[in-house]
């Protein structure tokens, strides 16, 4: 087996604005849904914490770039905080300090030989837009397009890789529905109109993504020549047993969890997956409704969305066992999908509990994408795990080593078109509802230190070695 990554394969690492920036109310930044939620729902954050200060990257971004230089990554994937640029979400009112912050970051990255890659939206919606219904409001597609225009105009001369929306499926279901495992809403803004709001939010995000993509093609591509794509959360789901019910449940789970928003963009027919349309329509009619709770895409919308991504960004962490299960007796995303997904109790978890080492599951997923969607260019925009070992994070190294190995196999033996890998993440960060209890960073942060010194863990030297040699040293770090 060829043990080298292709010459044009890109290695980098990622972060997101609310998770690291802090400075939640500095220099004219507006309030985001996560500012509001962590203030009003402390009980829903494991350690009662928030991202008010986080890693203070707004103040110490130079230290982030220094860490990135030490890692010798080719690119840095970070997100822009919408309400730092447009405090109310409205693109008619811009915040010059916020604009300057990202200019400084982008320029310093470029001076350091690191390619900036930007996520336009990673969950920190301006609260003002939430007051209008957030992603359930179809008008959001206009707001998002206008915001994207501002961002392309400001930074597109230097930024050539754009990720529109991070994990629209997870954002819809966790923020506008409930989390399967805890049966709790686990993400801001805690809007629950179960069985309705999840689908509406996903629908509007899909349209918003497509509008931003088409905008770029029409008004920016000829000058800026960049790439624009979506980032989908793509776990794998395998049957929990050999029973036909569980085999079907695993397929259905994949349809609801991954294909819902993948199929409209990457299939040759477009539109939502037929199975999902059928299930939700039948249930909706049985509930006495006149129409499906899954909004319909018009013929024009299907065309707008189809092909609206230059590559498929996937965030992949693990594989779950899916079993057939009736989930509650009321309409909801999970009731429609009718599955229970659990981590395999027999597999090793480096931490946190929801991540198990399932490299074969990843290989299977990559091949499934290749075979089902005509081998699209895939960008692995997130992959990683936490650690409990502070500096000597051997289990994290083991995880990355093993996952990189199957990626190499997918490329060199199976012919999957995988173009890049963005490890998650640069720093220990605010991990949403888990607060600061999960530590995904290659750099440790002492959150009691006012300067938030970034200290490399062992994983940092491991990853530097991968990038330098473009191959995996299986003996490292022993």
Active site residues: 167, 382
d(CA 39, CA 246): 41
Q: Which of 81-89, 96-104, 164-172, 393-401 is the region at the interface with ligand GBH (rule: CB under 6 A)?
A: 164-172
For ligand GBH (CB under 6 A), the number of binding residues is 17
Each residue 2-41 as x (binds ligand GBH by CB under 6 A) or -, in order, gives --------------x--x----------------------
Distant-in-sequence contacts of 397-400, Cβ < 8 A, 24+ apart: 397/458, 397/459, 397/462, 397/476, 397/477, 398/350, 398/357, 399/350, 399/355, 399/357, 400/459, 400/462, 400/463, 400/466
By CB under 6 A, name the one of 35, 167, 246, 310 that touches ligand GBH.
Answer: 167
Do β-strands 227-233 and 161-166 pair in parallel, antiparallel, or remain unpaired?
Answer: parallel
Binding of ligand GBH by 130 (CB under 6 A): no
> If binding is defined by CB under 6 A, does position 257 make contact with ligand GBH?
no
Residues 471 and 405: their CA atoms lie apart, in Å, by 9
> Using the rule CB under 6 A, which residue among 233, 257, 324, 358 binds ligand GBH?
233
Confirm or reject binding of residue 179 to ligand GBH (CB under 6 A). yes
Residue span binding ligand GBH (CB under 6 A) among the ranges 70-78, 180-188, 204-212, 291-299: 180-188
Nearest distance from C-beta of residue 423 to ligand GBH, angstroms: 11
Scanning residues 189 to 228, which ones bind ligand GBH (CB under 6 A)? none
- Contact call for residue 351 and ligand GBH (CB under 6 A): no
Stretch that binds ligand GBH, among 48-56, 175-183, 372-380, 451-459 (CB under 6 A): 175-183
**Both tokens assigned to 95:** 């915040």
19 vs 95, beta carbon nearer ligand GBH: 19
Q: Which residue has the tokens 């199957």?
A: 406
Torsion region of 123: left, alpha or beta (phi above 0 gives left; psi -120 to 50 gives alpha)? left
Nearer to ligand GBH, 50 or 431 (CB): 431
Choice between 16 and 255, CB closer to ligand GBH: 16
Site for ligand GBH in 393-432 (CB under 6 A): 424, 431-432
Q: Which one of the spans 176-184, 201-209, 239-247, 255-263 is the region binding ligand GBH (CB under 6 A)?
A: 176-184
- To ligand GBH, the closest distance from the beta carbon of 166 in angstroms equals 5
Q: Which one of 90-98, 178-186, 239-247, 367-375 is the stretch in contact with ligand GBH (CB under 6 A)?
A: 178-186
- Using rule CB under 6 A, residue 170 touches ligand GBH: yes
CA–CA dist 219, 223 (Å, integer): 8
* H/E element, 35: helix 33-40
Token output for 445: 């942060």
Question: Encoding tokens for residue 81?
Answer: 């905080």
DSSP string, 177-231: S-BTTTTB--STT----TTTHHHHHHHHHHHHHHHHHHHIIIIIHHHH--EEEEE
Rounded to an integer, what distance in angstroms lies between the CA atom of residue 265 and that of residue 246? 28
Considering the complex, what minimum distance in angstroms separates the CB of residue 170 from ligand GBH?
A: 5
- Nearest Cα to Cα of residue 424 among 113, 2, 87, 15: 15
In terms of CB distance, is 89 or 384 closer to ligand GBH?
Answer: 384
DSSP state of 134: G
Question: In this chain, which residue has its C-beta nearest to ligand GBH?
Answer: 181
Residue with tokens 């905008």: 215
Residue 184 and residue 138: Cα distance in Å, rounded?
26
**Are 221 and 160 a contacting pair, CB within 8 Å?**
no
Of 279, 314, 313, 273, whose CA–CA distance to 297 is shortest?
273
Nearer to ligand GBH, 94 or 179 (CB): 179
**Closer residue to ligand GBH in complex, CB, 306/356:** 356
DSSP class of 303: H
Stretch that binds ligand GBH, among 23-31, 63-71, 162-170, 410-418 (CB under 6 A): 162-170
- Under the criterion CB under 6 A, does residue 315 sit at the interface with ligand GBH? yes
Binding ligand GBH by CB under 6 A: which of 42, 52, 139, 181?
181
Q: Is 382 in the site for ligand GBH (CB under 6 A)?
A: yes
CA distance 239 to 142: 41
- Contact positions toward ligand GBH, by CB under 6 A? 16, 19, 166-167, 170, 179, 181-182, 186, 233, 315, 354, 382, 424, 431-432, 440
């Amino acid at each position: 087996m060829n043990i080298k990554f292709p010459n044009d394969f890109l290695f980098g690492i990622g972060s997101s604005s609310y998770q690291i920036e802090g400075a939640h109310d500095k220099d004219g930044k507006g309030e985001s849904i996560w500012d509001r939620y962590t203030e009003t729902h402390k009980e829903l954050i494991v350690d009662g914490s928030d991202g008010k200060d986080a890693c203070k990257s707004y103040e110490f971004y130079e230290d982030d770039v220094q860490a990135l230089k030490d890692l010798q990554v080719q690119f840095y994937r970070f997100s822009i905080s919408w309400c730092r640029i447009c405090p109310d979400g409205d693109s008619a009112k811009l915040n010059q300090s916020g604009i300057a912050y990202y200019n400084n970051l982008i320029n310093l990255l470029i001076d350091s030989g690191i390619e900036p890659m930007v996520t336009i939206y990673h969950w920190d919606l301006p609260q003002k837009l939430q007051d209008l219904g957030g992603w359930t409001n179809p008008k959001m597609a206009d707001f998002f397009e206008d915001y994207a225009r501002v961002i392309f105009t400001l930074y597109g001369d230097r930024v050539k890789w754009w990720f529109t929306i991070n994990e629209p499926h997870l954002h819809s279901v966790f923020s506008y529905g409930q989390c399967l495992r805890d049966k709790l809403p686990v993400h801001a803004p805690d809007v629950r109109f179960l069985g309705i709001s999840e689908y509406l939010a996903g629908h509007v995000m899909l349209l918003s993504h497509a509008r931003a993509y088409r905008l770029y093609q029409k008004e920016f591509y000829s000058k800026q020549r960049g790439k624009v794509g979506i980032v989908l959360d793509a776990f794998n789901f395998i049957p929990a047993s050999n029973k036909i019910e569980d085999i079907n449940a695993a397929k259905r789970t994949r349809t609801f969890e991954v294909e819902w928003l993948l199929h409209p963009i990457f299939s040759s027919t477009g539109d939502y997956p037929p199975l999902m349309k059928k299930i939700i329509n039948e249930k909706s009619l049985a509930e006495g409704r006149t129409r499906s709770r899954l909004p319909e895409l018009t013929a024009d919308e299907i065309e707008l969305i189809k092909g609206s991504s230059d590559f498929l960004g996937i965030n992949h962490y693990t594989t779950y066992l899916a079993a057939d299960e009736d989930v509650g007796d009321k309409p909801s995303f999970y009731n429609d999908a009718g599955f229970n997904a659990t981590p395999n109790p027999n597999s090793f978890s480096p931490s946190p509990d929801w991540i198990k080492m399932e490299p074969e599951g990843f290989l299977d997923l990559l091949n499934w994408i290749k075979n089902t969607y005509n081998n699209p260019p895939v960008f692995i925009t997130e992959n990683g795990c936490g650690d409990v070992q502070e500096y000597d994070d051997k289990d994290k190294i083991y995880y990355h080593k093993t996952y990189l190995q199957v990626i190499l196999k997918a490329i060199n033996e199976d012919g999957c078109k995988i173009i890049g890998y963005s490890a998650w993440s640069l720093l220990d960060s605010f991990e949403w509802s888990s607060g600061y209890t999960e530590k995904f960073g290659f750099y440790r942060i002492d959150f009691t230190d006012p300067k938030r010194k970034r200290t490399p863990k062992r994983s940092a030297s491991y990853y530097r070695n991968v990038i330098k040699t473009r191959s995996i040293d299986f003996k490292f770090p022993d």
